[in-house]
Amino acid sequence: MLNEEVLVRSQAVVARVVAGETLIVPIRAKVGDLASIYSFNSTGSLIWKLLESPRTVAQLATAVAQAYEVEPAQAERDVTSFVNEMKSVGLVEVPASVAMAGD
């Protein structure tokens, strides 16, 4: 289940905070892919910061619900959608140690 899946930032990206927004640049063949720059608002930036260490979607949703005073169910839906999008473009991944332990 995705809520229990542990995720972490991809190592194939470079991130910087500029003017309060987090900018993410994927690295492909040792070069920044400037055609694929991602920009996160404050909520996305919070999730990105939390993913410095492995977290589940449920843990991320709890943090978002507390930080922004939203209903836990709404936070979970929004975080799940955001994380799925980040996974689809390779910004987050399942840590290798966790993936191997689950095999």
* Residue 53: partners with Cβ closer than 8 Å, 6 or more residues away: 8
What does the block give as tokens for 29?
Answer: 């063949």
Question: What's the gap between Cα 83 and its chain centre?
Answer: 6
Q: Say if residue 90's pLDDT is above 70.
A: yes
CB distance 9 to 52 below 8 Å: yes
Would you tell me how many other CB atoms lie within 10 Å of the CB of residue 67? Answer: 13
pLDDT above 70 covers a percentage of the chain that reads 83
CB distance 13 to 25 below 8 Å: yes
pLDDT, tens digit (0-9, with 9 covering 90-100), for 19-68: 888 999 888 666 555 667 899 999 999 999 999 999 999 999 999 999 99
E strand residue ranges, the chain: 6-9, 13-18, 21-28, 31-32, 38-40, 55-56, 92-93
